Amino acid sequence: MKNIIKLIVNENEIDQRVDVFINKQENSLSRTRIKNLILKEKLKINNSIIINPSKKLNIRDKIQLEIPEPEKASLKPYNYKLNIVYEDDDLLVIDKSAGISMHPGAGNYNKTIANALMNYCGKSLSNIGDELRPGIVHRIDKDTSGLIVVAKNNISHEHLSNQFNKHTIKRIYQALIWGKLRPQNGIIETLITRSSKNRQLMEVSFNKGKKAITNYKTLEIFENKNSPTLSLIECKLETGRTHQIRVHMSHKGNNILGDKKYKKKFKKIKNINLDLEKKILNLNRQFLHAKILGFIHPKSRKELKFISNLPQELEKILKNLRKLSK
């Protein structure tokens, strides 16, 4: 059964964006969900359908937002062993391996995390988002590993989405990049938009796109005659744009090792350690790992924090680099 939210704009609420106004009145709904409902023509202002989430409001405007019945997921279950690090009645925290997509997309409709969640949880997942993404609150790239949180019900989904929208979720990644960052510690703040040359890629823009902020810190620098110059860095996200860390490192000229989309050509070094060279050439993923995830639990309101160790294939490269640096 669908639900209709009815609101009236008061004098002290004029000139607000309609999506912001609704979110303030109904804070159980995330801004993202409100925006998606507006784009799906579920909003009426003074009985006229409005599809602009940023529309400014006038005094005594009558707002009606239809909340439709959640769609039933049409995913095929996928028998895949999920690495679950935490589970309760409201959510799951999963340590995702590289090589598996978060949800169905072109060319892969059945072997994703979303399909695996259908197999593991069945109907015990939130269903207020895309029907092909039950439970999915946020994403990490196919060839990135690490921690993700999954919602088991709609209340948890909305609460977690609000934390992501307000940038209060703690997300820290580790990456191995080519060269050295200058300065070694800092903040990258740019706009990110879809690439004009390749629609599958993103790029930094100076006049359009969404604001993206990455705080970075250099942890180790590997520099000797038997290896290329590489740096292990930590990135703390303030925003979560598509490919954000990868785009920001590429923009700085320090691409992530193993990144085939935003790649840097591997230069042959005369005296390179053969074992290290083999590991670099055989790396079939980017050296990017979602190491720390922290958030407020939707029901208990307790702060939760999870830490994931680097996968073995990445740890082996670091071990080799550290050995050469002695």
Contact 267, 259 (CB under 8 A): no
pLDDT digits (tens, 9 = 90+) for 60-89: 999 999 988 765 556 889 999 999 999 999
Taking the model in full, what pTM does it have? 0.81
Mean pLDDT by 10 residues, the chain (326 residues): 83 91 83 86 93 92 85 78 97 97 83 94 81 86 97 93 92 97 97 89 92 97 91 96 96 94 73 89 95 97 98 96 88
Phi, psi for residue 236 in degrees, rounded to 5? -110, 120
Name the β-bridge partners of 187.
215
Catalogue all structural domains in the chain, each as residue range(s) with its CATH number. Answer: 3-67 (3.10.290.10), 84-165 (3.30.2350.10), 170-325 (3.30.2350.10)
| Active site amino acids | 141
pLDDT digits (tens, 9 = 90+) for 156-202: 999 999 999 889 999 999 999 999 999 999 999 999 999 988 888 99
Average pLDDT, the chain: 91
Tokens of 205: 């823009």
